[in-house]
Structure 1
Amino acid sequence: MDKVIMHVDMDAFFASVEMVDNKKLKGKPVIVGGIFERGVVSTCSYEARVFGVKSAMPIYMAKAKCPNGIFLPVRYDRYKEISNKIFDVFHEITPFVEPLSIDEAYLDLTHVNKNPLDIASFIKNKIKKETGLNISVGLSYNKFLAKLASDWNKPNGLKVIQKSDVPEILFPLSVDKVYGLGKKSVKKLNDIGIFTVKELYDLPLIMLLDFFGKFGLEIYERIRGIDKREVTIFRERKSIGKETTLSNDTDDKNDIKPYIKSFSKSISDIMKSKNLRGKNITIKIKTASFVNHTKSKTLSYYICTEDDIYKEACNILDNLEFQEKIRLIGVSISSFKEETVEQMSLF
């Protein structure tokens, strides 16, 4: 029996919530991410995207591209409130819901005894009625194709990709549409003249294995409509971190350490609330020329306190050599284990 997988994705979620809450913003280039030039775009309305604005773009660049844009700060609590309502609708349909982010999820409908298109219509209509928001839905027999389908005719889209459509429906797509191929992999393919899925499809498996190691088999299968990943109800959190753009670029580490101190407290609070300890600490920096660098250290023991996280993060920072000034700093911890409490024997 073929699986029935749905991928759901809110359209320009943060910006759409702002337009629902303030009707005067509807149809305008709304850009959420901050009002200060040193911030970055979290998301933007489709009206802003026409001007070339996109997520993760620096605010100053977004302002240059869209000078008449309406720039708003992030209201995460409000977005989370709306997200909870949306996920409640998903759980009315099936318990097999895998959240990917605050506004995106997979649903496994394989054992739901209803027409998948009827389910998609129900979800779209109910979310529109309860929140005023549009959602794009993709349906297929695996996760890769379902996600591809939801992105096919955004916004407010609905697309079904069937087995009989594959692989021909994929051939015209650019290789960056293939799940698992990041920027470096795409560039590597482009450098040898591979730009479309059809061109990638024509490569022998041995060449993909040579290019990408054992991951090459997954790519080979994926563009042939094979994706064995299951919808996972509980997603293990791989890391906990905080980052921020600095008020001013700096190469003075003493300017950066107060941020690390604040991050360490926030990370420690989250870890303690989830009963976690970790042993891999990572420092992330972004230079003034927007180049990202990370440096990690794996400890021989697990930590969770603010002081320990701060100490280890500062040790990493002190051993970094800055080639230029820094505009962003981040700290994260990973390689978790759950804290257990052992009851001592009376004897």
Structure 2
Amino acid sequence: MNILSRRIAHLDMDAFYASVELLRYPQLRGLPVVIGGKSDHKPTIQADGSLHFSRLREYIGRGVITTATYEARAIGIFSAMGMMKAAQLAPDAILLPVDFDAYRHYSRLFKAAVASIASQIEDSGIDEIYIDLSGLPDDSLTLAKRIKQAVFDATGLTCSIGITPNKLLSKICSSLDKPDGITILDMSEIPNRIWPLPVRKINGIGPKTEKKLASLGISTIAELAQAELGFLQTHFGRSYSTWLYEASHGIDDRPVITSSEPKSISRETTFERNLHPRHDRAVLSEILTVLCIRIAEDLQRKGYLGRTIGIKLRFEDFHTVTRDITLTTFTADHSSIRHAARECLRRVPLEKKLRLLGIRVTKLTTIHSPQGINILSQGELPLVFQEQQSTESMG
């Protein structure tokens, strides 16, 4: 199919986690609500039967905002912001804990609703999907309205949709008219609709690239589109510069991938306080064990085995180190994962306090693969390590 004839939609649920919570607590509609508290921030029932909600000013710890309602965003609160910093901006904002079981439930509902209308779907996250509408007979606006209504009927939630010839532009457009918006764009509209936007609106340009582009006098997509490719290559290298140039011109021929295999499964946790490698060894050991058990459960639930086990450590000065090790056989056993993780830990100088610990399993195979069937038929094999591998340290 000709790339220019494609119709690709990006559907993004509106303030998804917060919106799910507002279904449960409709009395909070119109108020600044922050999601990201701990389990002890659950609403409590008062003597008169009413609910008492925690306030952001009551939070003490190192957690970050997961998401917030649009009312909270209007006063400067955004995802990934530190809770304590957010409390300074809006001490009376309502604070609720995350409930991933509920979010996953509504995620399944909205995706099933979309699938009843358009089957070519790429799952891009718990609250967003790409949809290939190219082969459907209705016009784009009609399809967008049908999809939005189906999502609302199934969940009671609103979403925003961008429809363009490719994934890159649709991702940008789904955020232009939030919440509950529809944006339809063709290539001829790029100069008027896309180029005036800041470069960070392009998915794939992060804070570091944005800062570097700004130092070169490039802050909008239009300015990026006008930059010479040779100039960009001087500062960003050949392949990334080519991508920047093409993205700024709305060029993206990636297909909608309707099925994909995960490349890794990971778990990590940020501590409420920095933990000392020796003085808090018992606590760290327990956290390590819990992470390994949960990863093993994730692997088994999803039907995967893994062969490379890695750790991620973030120290009190925010320096982050990763190490990994490859086994001679695939595993989904928590004790084997923990043993490997401990081997990785021995290769890191533990001289500073820690603020984060993570475990990751890569080099995955399904239990239905020849390797998986062979392993499961023989039971868990002895744990023998191949050559130890270390990944680069990340600042």
Q: 1:266 and 1:194, CA in 2 relative to 1: closer, same or farther beyond 3 A?
A: same
Equivalent AA in structure 2 for residue 23 of structure 1? P
Task: Give distance in 2, aligned partners of 1:288 and 1:28.
Answer: 35
How many residues are aligned here?
343
The answer on whether the counterparts of 2:277 and 2:352 sit within 8 Å (CA) in structure 1 is: no
Q: 1:42 and 1:261, CA in 2 relative to 1: closer, same or farther beyond 3 A?
A: same
Per-residue deviation, 1:11: 0.7
> 1:278 matched to which residue of 2?
306
Q: 1:78 and 1:274, CA in 2 relative to 1: closer, same or farther beyond 3 A?
A: closer
Per-residue deviation, 1:15: 0.6
Q: Which of the numbers 4, 7, 10 marks the counterpart of 2:7?
A: 4
> 2:135 matched to which residue of 1?
111
Equivalent AA in structure 2 for residue 299 of structure 1? T
Give TM-score, length-normalised by structure 1.
0.91
Per-residue deviation, 1:235: 2.4
Per-residue deviation, 1:98: 0.7
Q: Which of the numbers 218, 230, 234 marks the counterpart of 2:259?
A: 234
> 1:181 matched to which residue of 2?
205
Per-residue deviation, 1:90: 0.8
Equivalent AA in structure 1 for residue 373 of structure 2? V
Give TM-score, length-normalised by structure 2.
0.81
**Which one is further off, 226-235 or 292-301?**
292-301
> 1:84 matched to which residue of 2?
108
SS of 1:99 mapped into structure 2: strand
Q: What residue ranges of structure 2 are gaps of 5+ in the alignment?
A: 42-58, 378-395
CA RMSD of aligned residues (A): 2.1
1:1-347 alignment runs, 5 A limit: 1=2, 2-34=5-37, 35=41, 36=59, 37-210=61-234, 211-252=236-277, 254=281, 255-288=283-316, 291=318, 293-299=320-326, 301-304=328-331, 305-322=333-350, 324-338=352-366, 339-342=371-374
Task: Give distance in 2, aligned partners of 1:309 and 1:79.
Answer: 28
Task: Give distance in 2, aligned partners of 1:268 and 1:213.
Answer: 40
Per-residue deviation, 1:324: 4.2
Task: Give distance in 1, aligned partners of 2:349 and 2:374.
Answer: 43
SS of 1:331 mapped into structure 2: strand
CA deviation vs aligned residue, 1:137-193 (integer Å, no higher than 9, x gap): 101000011111100021111111111112443222111112222222222222222
SS of 1:144 mapped into structure 2: helix
Equivalent AA in structure 2 for residue 295 of structure 1? T
Q: What residue ranges of structure 1 are gaps of 5+ in the alignment?
A: none
Equivalent AA in structure 2 for residue 274 of structure 1? K
Q: 1:56 and 1:292, CA in 2 relative to 1: closer, same or farther beyond 3 A?
A: farther
Task: Give distance in 1, aligned partners of 2:68 and 2:293.
Answer: 31
Equivalent AA in structure 2 for residue 7 of structure 1? H
The answer on whether the counterparts of 1:303 and 1:309 sit within 8 Å (CA) in structure 2 is: no
Q: 1:3 and 1:268, CA in 2 relative to 1: closer, same or farther beyond 3 A?
A: same
Per-residue deviation, 1:323: 6.2
Equivalent AA in structure 1 for residue 186 of structure 2? Q
SS of 2:161 mapped into structure 1: strand
**Which one is further off, 180-189 or 22-31?**
180-189
Q: 1:123 and 1:328, CA in 2 relative to 1: closer, same or farther beyond 3 A?
A: same
Per-residue deviation, 1:330: 1.4
SS of 1:283 mapped into structure 2: strand
Runs of 4+ in 1 over 6 A off after TM superposition: none
Equivalent AA in structure 1 for residue 16 of structure 2? F
The answer on whether the counterparts of 1:282 and 1:294 sit within 8 Å (CA) in structure 2 is: no
Task: Give distance in 2, aligned partners of 1:27 and 1:271.
Answer: 40
Per-residue deviation, 1:342: 4.5
Per-residue deviation, 1:316: 2.4
CA deviation vs aligned residue, 1:106-135 (integer Å, no higher than 9, x gap): 000000111111111112223223322111
SS of 2:249 mapped into structure 1: coil
Equivalent AA in structure 2 for residue 25 of structure 1? L
SS of 2:11 mapped into structure 1: strand
Task: Give distance in 2, aligned partners of 1:128 and 1:110.
Answer: 23
